[in-house]
Chain A
Amino acid sequence: MSEQSQTIPPGVLGPDRTGAPPETEPSHPPHLQALLSRLEGLAADVARLEARLSQAEAESRELRAETARLDEDLDESRRLNLRAAELLDVVYTELGKQAPRGEAEERGNGE
């Protein structure tokens, strides 16, 4: 925008805030008038694109944050998967150690 404001006359892309007294509107040749109108349209397009870009950047930031969060969840889920296997192994090992004693007790009760 700063580059455009150097090449386009004050007031074309918005209110003139230079503080200079308003100049008498010169009469432009038709082709220059058409060009100025086109520029006004382009400026509006640029403003719309800028707003969209800003929105897209915000959405991109949100998506990156969400991806990072999901990545952490995924890693945690995988870590818990391993933890579950470790716990299952501890349980099976302990049950395996208790089994002979349990069977002996059952035999003892039966006798």
Chain B
Amino acid sequence: MSYTIHADSNVLILTGPALPPDHTLSVLLGNRRIWTFRPSDADTSVSGDSLTVRWPPALARRLSGSAELSLLGEGRPISAPFKVHFDDSDADFSLVEPGTGIPQVINKWGRIARSFEGRGTALVEDVLDQAENLISLVRTKMDIDLFVTGGTLLGPVRDGRIMANDDDADLAYLSAHHNPSDIALESYALEKMLTAEGYETVRHSAGHLQLNFPGESINDRFYIDIFTYFVVNGWFYGTFHARERASDVQVLPLRNLDVNGRKLPGPAEPAQMLAAIYGAGWSTPDPAFRFVTPPAARRRFHSWLGDLDADRENWEDYHRAEIAASEGPPPPSEWAERLAAELTPGSKILELGCGLGADALCFADAGHDVYAVDYSRPALHYLASRTAPVEGSLKLRRANLNSLRPAADVARWSSQGGKPLHVYARLLLDSLTPGGQANTLLLIRHVLQNHGPGSLAHIEINPEPADFHDAWNNYRHVDESYLQKQLELQGLHIQDRTVQRKGNNGQPGHIQLSINVRTP
């Protein structure tokens, strides 16, 4: 079969014989495999003998410049290579990680991820060294038995060793508890132990903890996931995807498996576990494999364990790209400059969602004492490495406000000192989940109350729909009436409001609403 191909920054169009929906297609850009998919799993439409495939949103926003494009069907060329121009840029298209230059691909979640094809064995050995250390530490400190799962189980069982394209190590433990609250508390205790031991942890949900290596860096070298598996009401739950009858997935007693020449603990019945995670066809390699979580499982995982990530990874990627492209510090917003000048020197400011810290530094340089919070690790690392403020002070805290626990921690951390507090949250609520918005407004109420008269919150939102980041999961406008209702629920009052239209180069732009909020 041979196809005529058209491509632009939005779509790929194949014209030719009809393709079976389960046909595996691979897109090569610049002679490198970028995306492998099945038409049935992609966003497609058919018109006559043309199949239109919309690029995954995460990839679409990265398509710039030009590249040689070719297409493989079931691993064989089905089109002649041709040059595609995604936009007016003269640059060659390149999908690499900002900062490190590590090649990237679209992974099985539809996200941009590192490609480990052709990587050296040293990295795999480092990952397995750390996995072994973790298994030993968690057993000693918490009497919890970790075992290999996911890709770290699939590769050794199916292929005899870790898969070439795996980008992490997957570990899990079977919780001794059967109530989701107890299961969450157990995982929180594990997180605290690991943090105390010096690991850098990121919590994705109450049942999914990620450890980053080397930690405290703008770019991670690799990471290890620790999933909580549990049984509730006779059902086995393998966070954050599998849900099977408990009788169909025997986890205990653990048994040693050969993983690249090491003996690592695995589940009692690896085939059952792999079927639960990857489906009955787990033993056949599938380059176009995508996780499709059954709705009944998704609903339970989401409400029992939460979903704290929202756009954290998108923000971290965005900040890495900004840091890599930066020729100097980003300019502060006009609002921050105005506020910095209006406030009495030495004012105390808590900035929630500081990003790369342009506004936080502006406040500190104007002589204010600034507490800056964000959940983006590269942004905070970058900000910490910047020159210290001349006049005021700048303290940093990593906190994911989508979770109540870190929000409470921020309240305690920022409650030192008795003077009035100014909370500054610019376009933060737009990035949070509804639960995160509630956590944040609750946090704001408490810190304003704790700091007494004169304390104010300065909040900016985009109140109208706009095409900002269509590839992102959660970033969206905040309806003003919804915000007013949420503020009322927290007993917060709007003192005044300003509406501005922000446009660039004479374009209409979008509306931003700035409000000052106080307690009664």
Which residues on A are within 8 Å of B, measured CB to CB? 74-75, 78-79, 81-90, 93-94
Contact = CB atoms under 8 A, between A and B. Distances in A.
- What does DSSP make chain A's interface, helix, strand, loop or mixed? helix
Main secondary structure of the interface of B (DSSP, over half): helix
B404 A88 contact: no
Contact of A82 (B192, B299, B303, B412): B303
A82 B304 contact: yes
Given A85-B180, A85-B185, 20 more contacts: A74-B303, A75-B299, A75-B303, A78-B304, A79-B303, A79-B435, A82-B181, A82-B184, A82-B206, A82-B303, A83-B404, A85-B181, A85-B182, A85-B184, A85-B206, A87-B404, A89-B185, A90-B405, A90-B409, A94-B412
29 contacts: A75-B303, A78-B180, A78-B300, A78-B303, A79-B303, A79-B306, A81-B180, A81-B181, A81-B304, A82-B180, A82-B181, A82-B184, A82-B303, A82-B305, A83-B404, A85-B181, A85-B185, A85-B188, A85-B206, A86-B184, A86-B404, A86-B405, A87-B404, A89-B184, A89-B185, A89-B188, A90-B405, A90-B408, A94-B412
Interface string B147-182: 000000000000000000000000000000001111
A27 to B, nearest CB: 66
Give the residue among A85, A90, A94 with the most B Cβ atoms within 10 A.
Answer: A85
Q: Which 4 A-B pairs have the closest CB atoms?
A: A78-B303, A85-B184, A85-B181, A86-B404
A83 B404 CA distance: 8
A82 B306 CA distance: 7
B181 A90 contact: no
A78 B412 CA distance: 27
Contact of B185 (A74, A75, A78, A88): A88
A84 B181 contact: yes
B24 interface: no
Contacts of A89: 184-185, 188, 405
Contacts of A88: 181, 185
Contacts of A82: 180-181, 184, 206, 303-306
A88 B189 CA distance: 12
Contacts of B405: 86, 89-90
